[in-house]
Homo-oligomer: A and B are copies of this chain.
Amino acid sequence: MATANSFLRVGCLVGLLGMDPASGLPTAPAGDASPKRWNVVLVMTDDQGAWTMGAYGNRQCPTPNMDRLAREGALFTNAFTVTPLCSPSRASFLTGLYPTQAGISDVLYWSLMKGWLPPKDYEREIRRGLDSGTVTWPELLQENGYATALVGKWHLGVQKEHHPTLHGFDYYFGPYLAGVLDLANPVLQENGEKQTYDRFMTDVFTDKAIQFIERNRERPFALVLATQVPHSPWNKVPQEDLKPLEGVELTLPSARSDFGDGEERLRTFTRNYLGLVRTADRNLGRILQSLKTQGLDDRTIVIFTSDHGFMMGHRNLIGKGTATYYAGGGFGPRRMNMFDDSIRVPLLVRWPGVVKPGTRISQTVSNLDWFPTLLGMLEVPRPADLALEGLDMTPLLRDRTVPWRDALFGQLDVERNGFALMRMIRTDRWKLVRFHLPLMMDELYDLENDPGETRNLYRNPEFRQVREKLQGRLTQWQNAIQDPVFKVEKAVHGK
């Protein structure tokens, strides 16, 4: 953490208003004996690379509300997802478990699968989703008196038993089903009731999120607003969000192969994609305004992040962990990857009176950390028998010195539209990516001297010792989480 003891210093300021020493919250108005509890609003965007945001250095895409959050709170410079795909990333976010532990290690597609699979396989696939026995943090918040809501993307199952309201959310509004959606005229459901809206989907989400805030202003609440933007450059973009990007000669990432005739198309993709980042930004602004209007902004923690990163031509790829090659004006095969561009996410936390404005936190954190962190922030007791993989980030936010991880572990299982069983260990200096099943594909990058991950050092004898040490730690971790990949590997090599 870049600033020293911001808690105490900010605490002094707030102290003038009267502050509860345990929670860091302003004490309740007279007549209310117990200190108020913090609310949480967590905005999770869809496929948003950190590079899209002004606060992370983008000079072309105006993101005033995200930037404001970064100014008023903490910005994490090393925030990651443990897997660069939507469904498993969200499963880890909600359960504090690695995707294979949570039982969801690949994207769940349904609508797209129907044409591909024979009925038997389709039946198996459509039954996949978050298991009822898996504990989520919203469940614990519910039990501790919080009103909980998910507005937006779920993507963790479509069977009755997968509905968000059965996994810890009192209220659910959103598309429920994932897949190709009409953002301009979305069909959405409110706790099960479907309706068609003639308003842009993200705007409808925010309407509903604001209504939830208004309804619950008198009690502690936890709201997740999971936008379905920016997601992909093929979506429709609200004109008002696109406007400031028009006429801007967008910088394209440098790439190994020429984009050729595809350069203009890539610029259009990028413009649309950034336009949708601005849609998210504008709606974040509406949330912040609502909190202010409701007088809740000094007792509400606002968190902004994304499910994973996204490449828009970076190293000739478009996409995330399953990105597609793009060169010479056309699309090529997929490149399954765990590049930083795919696993790195933006992460901002505004915690009034606790986190000093403008804080920068460089420790490596991940989406696994949200479960313990939300319990920590909200002082919700953690059940003694609950096994969680993440770490509580609260001490980092409170600028306390705590022992922290020196390595991030990751997974990428792809069984749809491709195949990969990849495992990763990433330290500040090195990244080792192991491809299970195929031989001769493993990767070793020196992130310090080659942050773009362009030179695979795996075979270089000079780094054999580094590689073996990392491989040893990776295997140790895989054993610890009982990685099912070993069983698969055995079956294939024994065939």
A contacts, CB < 8 Å to B: 109, 112-113, 115-118, 121, 124-125, 256-262, 316, 325, 327-335, 414-420, 435, 437-442, 458-459, 461, 471, 484-485, 487-488, 490-493, 495
- Given the interface pairs A492-B415, A492-B491, the reply to whether A260 lies near B440 with Cβ below 8 Å is no
Specify which of A439, A491, A493 lies most central, judged by the most chain B CB atoms within 10 Å of its CB.
Answer: A439
Tell me which of B118, B328, B334, B471 contacts A258 (CB under 8 A). Answer: B328
A259 to B260 CA separation, bound complex (whole angstroms): 8
- Cβ–Cβ < 8 Å partners of A420 in chain B: 419
Specify which of A118, A414, A418 lies most central, judged by the most chain B CB atoms within 10 Å of its CB.
Answer: A418
Tell me which of B113, B330, B414, B441 contacts A438 (CB under 8 A). Answer: B414
- Cβ–Cβ < 8 Å partners of A492 in chain B: 415, 488, 491
Tell me which of B109, B333, B419 contacts A335 (CB under 8 A). Answer: B333
Identical subunits present: 2
Task: Give the dominant DSSP class at A's interface.
Answer: mixed
A261 to B256 CA separation, bound complex (whole angstroms): 11
A216 to nearest B CB, angstroms? 41
Tell me which of B260, B332, B335, B440 contacts A416 (CB under 8 A). Answer: B440
A407 to nearest B CB, angstroms? 20
Evaluate contact between B330 and A332: CB separation under 8 angstroms: no
- Given the interface pairs A109-B440, A441-B418, the reply to whether A116 lies near B459 with Cβ below 8 Å is yes
Evaluate contact between B257 and A440: CB separation under 8 angstroms: no
Nearest to A117 among chain B residues (CB) is B439
Tell me which of B417, B438, B490 contacts A415 (CB under 8 A). Answer: B438
Evaluate contact between A113 and B419: CB separation under 8 angstroms: no
A493 to B418 CA separation, bound complex (whole angstroms): 14
- Cβ–Cβ < 8 Å partners of A332 in chain B: 257, 316, 325, 327, 332-333, 335
Evaluate contact between A419 and B438: CB separation under 8 angstroms: yes
Evaluate contact between B257 and A439: CB separation under 8 angstroms: no
Evaluate contact between A439 and B416: CB separation under 8 angstroms: yes
Evaluate contact between B329 and A257: CB separation under 8 angstroms: yes
Given contacts A325-B325, A333-B334, could you give 18 more A-B pairs where the C-beta distance is less than 8 Å?
Answer: A109-B440, A116-B440, A116-B458, A121-B439, A124-B493, A257-B332, A258-B261, A258-B328, A259-B328, A260-B328, A316-B328, A325-B327, A325-B333, A327-B328, A327-B332, A333-B333, A416-B440, A419-B438
